[in-house]
Chain A
Amino acid sequence: MFFYMASHGVANSDATAVGVLEDVKSAAHRPWSQSINVTQLATALPILGADGCWVFLDACQEVVPEILEQVNGVQSQPLITYSVTDLARRRTSSVALAGSRLGGTAWAPTDGNPPFFTQALIEALRGAGVEFFAGEGWMVTGLQILFNLDHIANAALNNAGLQTESLTQFNRRVKLLRVAAPMIPVVVRTATENHMSVAVSVTASDGNGRTYTKVGNDLAWRFRVEPDQAVFTAQAQFAGPHPVYQPASFIAAPPAQIVELTE
């Protein structure tokens, strides 16, 4: 079972994460009830008996004083109701992740693309968030999604500030989908950021015939490699005698590689 919601979000008075719907504030007596309490949903979904429950909320968790002053918080309508007996019989748990921290904000680029959390999630599902399982191959796992999405956003989107928060207890080893040929995002930066743009050439080579070369004039060079655990060496060459950067090596392994060249 897969649930995804992108919207504006608020923190409920009990610190749970709530995504607001289009008609929020349309009812005078319960202004915030047109909303979905995603934390509660993530808790309740496994009670329905699904083998795996994946819940994602790409929204802020803004602290709104008005909600804190409401006796029962936002009072959103629960999508699933369950008894304590149902709860105690639950055998699985959700992988539930928000693209912000409690009290924090979620961000989107200004170029019209999806918000950063969603982009990082898509990158993880496409193949960055994988682990290898004998007999099964590369699988996207709860562990990589829960703990490494910020890494993936850093390498794939050049966004070093992605913050995520698990909304329920973790489910580390659960597998979502198989990826036949995953590719791992790599970002190479220079310690002084704009040195990257004046480099004559920046390359990454595995010493075995595979060489990637930077094209374009970005301050962060991004590309993708197969997760075959080859050792790559990244280096930057400049026109003059200065600056002089040391080569840096990285291993092509999931979820992402962040390489910083230093002088």
Chain B
Amino acid sequence: MTQGETHVVRLIGSSPVPYRFQIVGPPDRGVLAEILSDANGEAEARLETGRYVCYAENLSRGTAETAQFAILDGDPNDLSVRVGNGRRGEGLLSQNLRPSRATAYRALGSLSGVTTDDPDLIPVISPRFNNLRLQLPISATLNDALVGTPKKRFSVGLSVDTTPGKRGGWRALRRKPDVRVHSDPQKLTLEFNQSIAPVGEKVRISLSVETERVWQIYLPFFSSGLRATIWSAVADFGPELTLQVSAVDPSLSLVLASTLGSYPSGMETVSGFRGRETMFQPQKDPWAAIAVGLSAVRAGERLDDAFATPWLWSAFDNVSDAYVLWAWAIAAKAEKPSSQIDERCLQALKKARKLGRPYFSATGEIIGEMLNALALSSTSADVRSQAKSEARIWSNRGRAKIRNGPFYSWERSGDNLRSGILPSETYSVVVSGHVTTNRIDVAS
């Protein structure tokens, strides 16, 4: 490596979401910098002339890319480096994050002679199960079933749960939601600076694309802001939209990414991270506080005492994640296993289940792990039996879900919303239009 003048290098992630960049120099120098980007996936580093490897972690998806770049003598003082693997066809395939391919699965089922009309029996198909045509013996009927429509109608809607914890309360918002929508031909961005519903009422975003099932995510209204990005992508089934939710605050994004997997050397070493304690304000922002709790669980750290006191969370009784962390806190504080501890954990998990799906994907995994432990090894036969029953309910509920990065997303089982139009009594449509190959046209 040539030692030389310092350059200001602007690192640009491949998506406009927060990134963690790790810059590695030549072997004799090791890791030179670990930087948190801004909300749009950009960060600045001061580097000398030389060759570098950059690991870029997309904090919204939990995926990592590796890139190399060189700064040469004579390069301008300000440089931009676009990070991305740049593989052939990558942009088309990996963008397709939609949870399932129900049409493909039905075609597959009919080919094998097994048919099912029960929507709950249709499993999750991989989000990258889009090279199906290459994997199957193609028959004329199957091929017809898989041919995509070149132009599809879509709608994005917001709904609020007016009867939290009970069925049938989802309605359109009572007033126009405070959301900023930006659109360009490749993507739509929805920005929420504050909660758009009263405390205690859940809000979900729904994406309906013609011929596809409706895709939904609960929106955690972080006090530092929330962003939903809808991208156009191309799949074997025609034009496609994918939905990604991210926190606007890069530090909170890093905490959210740590719920997918821990950083053994800690997050405090990342330049620009403002510290987890600044986010733990359960009265003001329960979702960020829960993200901090999940991060601690994943790192094998002690959970904050606030999670051992359920009254603190009763103000946000619609957030089932808090009750899962409460169950974890009960187990973590116990000195030794006992049937009383098992019973208390089970009751907290039952309460969480009754409150509906969780906001965070890590919560969904922790529920599964805890119920499995209770079902297999509790000393109480009653707890074992009840835990088995709870686990079954969770796995049935989980068939249409998939991790949307740190957030929990799922598809609606009903087929009545496959027109790309969302009914106005249940959904406040914030944007709609048509999607064609690699282009989104918004209806004015």
Which residues on A are within 8 Å of B, measured CB to CB?
Answer: 11, 13-15, 40, 43, 61, 63, 65, 68-69, 71-73, 78, 81-93, 101-105, 131-134, 138, 143, 146-148, 151, 154, 160-161, 163, 165, 168-174, 227-231, 250-251, 253-255, 258, 260
8 closest A-B pairs (Cβ-Cβ)? A170-B261, A14-B395, A101-B126, A91-B300, A251-B68, A88-B332, A88-B331, A83-B337
Query: Which A residues touch B24, using CB under 8 A?
Result: 131-132
Chain B binding surface SS class: mixed
A78 touching B398 by the CB < 8 A rule?
Answer: no
A101 touching B129 by the CB < 8 A rule?
Answer: yes
| A146 to B31 Cα, complex, angstroms | 20
B167 within 8 A of A: no
Partner of A104, one of B51, B126, B298, B332: B126
Query: Which A residues touch B3, using CB under 8 A?
Result: none
Map CB proximity to A onto B21-53 as digits: 1 under 8 Å, 0 otherwise.
000101101110000000000000000000111
B399 touching A103 by the CB < 8 A rule?
Answer: no
B26 touching A229 by the CB < 8 A rule?
Answer: yes
Show 10 A/B contacts (Cβ-Cβ < 8 Å), sorted by A.
Answer: A40-B372, A61-B126, A68-B121, A82-B377, A89-B332, A132-B24, A132-B27, A169-B261, A172-B264, A228-B27
B114 touching A85 by the CB < 8 A rule?
Answer: no
Known: A147-B65, A169-B262. 4 other contacts (CB 8 A): A14-B398, A65-B116, A69-B121, A87-B331
B135 within 8 A of A: yes
B150 within 8 A of A: no
Which residues on B are within 8 Å of A, measured CB to CB?
Answer: 1, 24, 26-27, 29-31, 51-53, 55, 62-66, 68-70, 85, 87-89, 105, 109, 112, 114, 116, 121, 123-129, 131, 135, 259-265, 298, 300, 327-328, 331-332, 334, 336-337, 341-342, 345, 362, 365, 368-370, 372-374, 376-378, 388, 391-392, 394-395, 398-399
Query: Which A residues touch B264, using CB under 8 A?
Result: 171-174
B374 touching A63 by the CB < 8 A rule?
Answer: no
B332 touching A258 by the CB < 8 A rule?
Answer: no
B377 touching A81 by the CB < 8 A rule?
Answer: yes
Query: Which B residues touch A254, using CB under 8 A?
Result: 53, 66
Partner of A103, one of B29, B52, B124, B265: B124
Known: A104-B126, A161-B131. A253 touches B68 (CB 8 A): yes
| A227 to B66 Cα, complex, angstroms | 14
A171 touching B87 by the CB < 8 A rule?
Answer: no
* Chain A, residue nearest B403 (CB): A166
| A132 to B127 Cα, complex, angstroms | 33
Most buried by B among A83, A90, A174: A83
* Chain B, residue nearest A138 (CB): B27
Partner of B373, one of A87, A105, A151, A168: A87
A83 touching B53 by the CB < 8 A rule?
Answer: no
| A68 to B24 Cα, complex, angstroms | 46
| A34 to B336 Cα, complex, angstroms | 33
Known: A14-B398, A63-B105, A132-B30. A170 touches B377 (CB 8 A): no
Known: A15-B398, A65-B109, A104-B129. A84 touches B263 (CB 8 A): no
**Number of A-B pairs, beta carbon distance below 8 Å:** 175
B395 touching A73 by the CB < 8 A rule?
Answer: yes
Known: A83-B337, A87-B370, A93-B298. A170 touches B128 (CB 8 A): no
Partner of B125, one of A84, A102, A132, A250: A102
Query: Which B residues touch A174, using CB under 8 A?
Result: 264
Query: Which B residues touch A169, using CB under 8 A?
Result: 259-262, 298, 362, 365
| A5 to B283 Cα, complex, angstroms | 47
| A161 to B264 Cα, complex, angstroms | 31
Query: Which A residues touch B125, using CB under 8 A?
Result: 63, 102-103
B88 touching A160 by the CB < 8 A rule?
Answer: yes
A85 touching B336 by the CB < 8 A rule?
Answer: yes
* Chain A, residue nearest B335 (CB): A85
* Chain A, residue nearest B366 (CB): A87
* Chain B, residue nearest A175 (CB): B264
Query: Which B residues touch A87, using CB under 8 A?
Result: 331, 369-370, 373
Query: Which B residues touch A147, using CB under 8 A?
Result: 63-66
Query: Which A residues touch B392, using CB under 8 A?
Result: 71-72
| A171 to B261 Cα, complex, angstroms | 5
Partner of B378, one of A65, A83, A90: A83
* Chain A, residue nearest B344 (CB): A84
| A67 to B56 Cα, complex, angstroms | 39
| A202 to B167 Cα, complex, angstroms | 66
Partner of A14, one of B129, B368, B376: B368
Query: Which B residues touch A143, using CB under 8 A?
Result: 55, 64
Query: Which A residues touch B85, using CB under 8 A?
Result: 151
* Chain B, residue nearest A92 (CB): B300
| A66 to B70 Cα, complex, angstroms | 54
A65 touching B395 by the CB < 8 A rule?
Answer: no
A260 touching B370 by the CB < 8 A rule?
Answer: no
Query: Which B residues touch A173, using CB under 8 A?
Result: 263-265
* Chain B, residue nearest A15 (CB): B124
| A109 to B30 Cα, complex, angstroms | 38
Known: A104-B128, A105-B135, A143-B64. A14 touches B391 (CB 8 A): yes
Known: A63-B123, A169-B262, A174-B264. A83 touches B66 (CB 8 A): no
* Chain A, residue nearest B301 (CB): A91
| A92 to B365 Cα, complex, angstroms | 16
Query: Which B residues touch A72, using CB under 8 A?
Result: 388, 392
B53 touching A253 by the CB < 8 A rule?
Answer: yes
Query: Which B residues touch A250, using CB under 8 A?
Result: 68
| A243 to B373 Cα, complex, angstroms | 63
| A151 to B67 Cα, complex, angstroms | 12
Query: Which A residues touch B331, using CB under 8 A?
Result: 84-85, 87-88
A255 touching B66 by the CB < 8 A rule?
Answer: yes
Query: Which A residues touch B334, using CB under 8 A?
Result: 85, 88
CB distance from B255 to the nearest CB of A (A): 14
Query: Which B residues touch A251, using CB under 8 A?
Result: 51, 53, 68-70
